[in-house]
């Protein structure tokens, strides 16, 4: 068996008295595809930096095969000291590397190389750092959240690029689809220690859950053993006579084990404070158009968004996703067209850039905006520390300045602030950035239970598949089309990913030298009802009829003037049943009406 290119064994590191890594291992051989997973703050980035030689461990063995090239992509690249992006990327090349790789990768990533590094946006800086990391074609790539702040087209390009490489890869990412498509082994960093399975991320979560369940069962067994030993100490005959020293020492050891074990961090408790229900119609847009500097961003776009819809908006950076959302929510006036907002809308927006967080504020001040220690969550008043605990912040962190928080912690703070405000329309701009997988799970569950309407800009394909009921996609020249279902459903209907135009709109290749044929505009992809919506349309009429008969029978029973005196319990039961079934009937009729309107619109 060939020796590994990189090996970390028993690595330990302590910051500020708290062990971050206690006994972490990482082994990477030629061609390995390893994903490194764990909660925010578990030490994943630190372990990768130790592997890259940027941080020295307190103890443990680190081996790097002589001659092996390792390149590391940090979450926040330092581009200071370089006049252009091309100079920054070329500085990462080695003596034998192809100098044209730098320009090629920058072109693939949408950069010319002449840009000023200091003037780049977050997404552009990420692309430049990727080009610098990928250009040398190293033996091992260490990538820390490479998809953060990238649009979907760049993520799909990067995925294809990494899949085509022969070198080894160690990957940290919150993007489930990205991890599943690229990984062949998974290393789980949990409570300072690592566990490894020789399977990709697609099989990791079920395995992790089984490990945690077994730990919980073992903890219960330990608790029962401690209780039995304490019973013996108090009531055992031998104990009353002479105190068995060995057994007392064993009990002390059990208690020590229970005290010192590092338990898995608690789960985030996330719930949106919901306002009164909005009207059935939330947003109706007709023939919207908006241009900037002569460039059409939105052209002749119409849609109808009803209460409970979850609308995903995807596309490359610069396509106009944020502009479209602002037009739909009335925050920006269209050049032509109209937007009608429904009744009783209470909108809350989550800003992906987190610009409205003052870095000098403490967490508590950021949550309460400096107004004491209490926060109103919906209609409930809570102490800010108790609310922060729901989002996995310790009481000590409440006085911590925002500027020292990690990206994931800042993301949780923004979510906590947004979800505390009552709403029936959530506008989420890249809500998954920097969140760990467990927090993503809870966010998905909360959004699934949210009774209001959601507008969601996201580059996370898996997240869109789990949340969205329809997806709006740019098709070029300001045209946007809406497809039923999630991201995968959109691809199936569109016939192409976001790197290409839909199959119906792609021109056929022509022989060299032949003049182009003038044709009429290609037909556009057509939005269709989802399977769930089609099934509901078929079954709701019979459901409405059944409920109507049941209500009539109950009302006939209640019409008996002697029922109340004869059988009070039966009267109360029938009254409650009528109320419940009337509510069910109203909901079924409303859903059927909304689907019928949608079916007529789609033709």
Residues 127, 537: Cα–Cα separation, whole Å = 46
- Give the number of other CB atoms < 10 A from CB of residue 516: 7
Label the pairing between strands 6-15 and 18-28: antiparallel
**Is 112 assigned a ligand-binding role in the annotation?**
no
Buried b (16+ CB within 10 A) or exposed e, 251-288: beebeeeeeeeeeeeeebebebbbbeebeebbbbbeeb
Give the alpha-carbon dihedral of 174, 180, 186, 191, to 10 degrees: 30
What are the DSSP calls for 431-474, one per residue? TTTT--HHHHHHHHHHHHH--SEEEEE---HHHHHHH-SEEEEE
**Is 43 assigned a ligand-binding role in the annotation?**
yes
**Is 528 assigned a ligand-binding role in the annotation?**
no
β-sheet bridge partners, residue 298: 290
**Is 40 assigned a ligand-binding role in the annotation?**
yes
Q: Report which of 90, 85, 78 is spatially closest to residue 110, judged by C-alpha positions.
A: 85
Stated length of the chain: 603
**Is 319 assigned a ligand-binding role in the annotation?**
yes
Residues 412, 393: Cα–Cα separation, whole Å = 9
**Is 45 assigned a ligand-binding role in the annotation?**
yes
Question: Residue 421: which residues within 8 A CB-CB, separation 6 or more?
Answer: 273, 348
Q: Two tokens at 83? A: 């006049």
**Is 389 assigned a ligand-binding role in the annotation?**
no
**Is 290 assigned a ligand-binding role in the annotation?**
no
**Is 38 assigned a ligand-binding role in the annotation?**
yes
**Is 315 assigned a ligand-binding role in the annotation?**
yes
**Is 502 assigned a ligand-binding role in the annotation?**
no
Strand, coil or helix: what is 84? coil
**Is 337 assigned a ligand-binding role in the annotation?**
no
Residues 405, 397: Cα–Cα separation, whole Å = 9
Strand, coil or helix: what is 194? strand
Binding-site annotation, residues for ATP: 38-45, 315-322
Binding-site annotation, residues: 38-45, 315-322
């Amino acid at each position: 068996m060939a020796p590994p290119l990189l090996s970390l064994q028993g690595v330990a590191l302590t910051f500020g008295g708290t062990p971050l890594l206690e006994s972490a291992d990482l082994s990477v051989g030629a061609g390995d595809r390893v994903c490194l997973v764990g909660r925010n703050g578990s030490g994943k980035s630190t372990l990768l930096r130790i592997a890259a030689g940027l941080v020295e461990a307190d103890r443990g063995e680190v081996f790097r095969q002589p001659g092996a090239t390792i390149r590391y992509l940090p979450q926040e690249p330092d581009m200071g000291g370089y006049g252009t992006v091309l100079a920054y990327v070329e500085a990462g090349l080695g003596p034998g590397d192809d100098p044209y790789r730098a320009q090629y990768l920058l072109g693939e990533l949408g950069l010319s190389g002449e840009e000023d590094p200091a003037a780049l946006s977050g997404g552009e800086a990420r692309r430049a750092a990727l080009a610098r990391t990928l250009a040398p074609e190293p033996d091992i790539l260490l990538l820390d959240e490479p998809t953060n702040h990238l649009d979907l087209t760049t993520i799909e390009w990067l995925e294809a690029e990494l899949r085509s490489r022969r070198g080894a890869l160690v990957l940290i990412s919150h993007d489930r689809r990205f991890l599943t498509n690229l990984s062949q082994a998974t290393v789980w960093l949990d409570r300072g220690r690592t566990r490894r399975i020789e399977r990709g991320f697609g099989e990791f979560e079920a395995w992790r859950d089984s490990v945690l369940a077994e730990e919980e069962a073992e903890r219960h067994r330990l608790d029962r053993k401690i209780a039995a030993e304490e019973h013996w100490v108090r009531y055992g005959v031998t104990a009353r006579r002479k105190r068995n020293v060995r057994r007392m020492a064993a009990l002390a050891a059990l208690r020590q084990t229970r005290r010192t074990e590092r338990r898995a961090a608690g789960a985030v408790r996330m719930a949106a404070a919901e306002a009164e229900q909005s009207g059935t119609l939330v947003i109706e847009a007709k023939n919207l158009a908006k241009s900037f500097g002569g460039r059409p961003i939105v052209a002749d776009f119409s849609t109808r968004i009803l209460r409970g819809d979850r609308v995903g908006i995807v596309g490359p950076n610069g396509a106009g996703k944020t502009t479209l959302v602002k037009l739909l929510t009335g925050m920006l006036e269209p050049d032509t067209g109209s937007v009608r907002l429904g009744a009783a809308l209470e909108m809350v927006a989550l800003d992906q850039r987190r610009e409205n967080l003052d870095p000098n504020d403490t967490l508590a001040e950021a949550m309460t905006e400096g107004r004491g220690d209490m926060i109103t969550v919906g209609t409930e008043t809570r102490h800010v520390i108790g609310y922060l605990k729901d989002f996995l912040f310790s009481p000590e962190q409440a006085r911590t300045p925002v500027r020292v928080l990690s990206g994931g912690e800042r993301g949780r703070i923004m979510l906590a602030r947004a979800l505390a405000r009552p709403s029936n329309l959530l506008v989420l701009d890249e809500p998954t950035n920097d969140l760990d997988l467990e927090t993503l799970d809870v966010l998905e569950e909360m959004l699934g239970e949210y009774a209001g309407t959601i507008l969601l800009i996201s580059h996370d394909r898996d997240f869109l598949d789990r949340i969205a009921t329809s997806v709006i996609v740019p098709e070029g020249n300001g045209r946007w089309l809406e497809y039923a279902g999630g991201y995968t459903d959109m691809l199936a209907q569109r016939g192409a990913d976001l790197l290409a135009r839909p199959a119906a709109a792609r021109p056929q290749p022509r022989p060299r030298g032949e003049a182009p044929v003038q044709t009429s505009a290609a037909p556009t992809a057509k939005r269709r009802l989802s399977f769930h919506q089609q099934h509901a349309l078929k079954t709701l009429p019979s459901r409405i009829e059944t409920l109507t008969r049941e209500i009539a029978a109950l009302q006939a029973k209640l019409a008996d003037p002697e029922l109340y005196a004869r059988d009070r319990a039966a009267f109360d039961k029938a009254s409650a049943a009528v109320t419940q079934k009337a509510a069910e009937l109203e909901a079924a009729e409303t859903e059927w009406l909304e689907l019928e309107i949608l079916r007529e619109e789609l033709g």
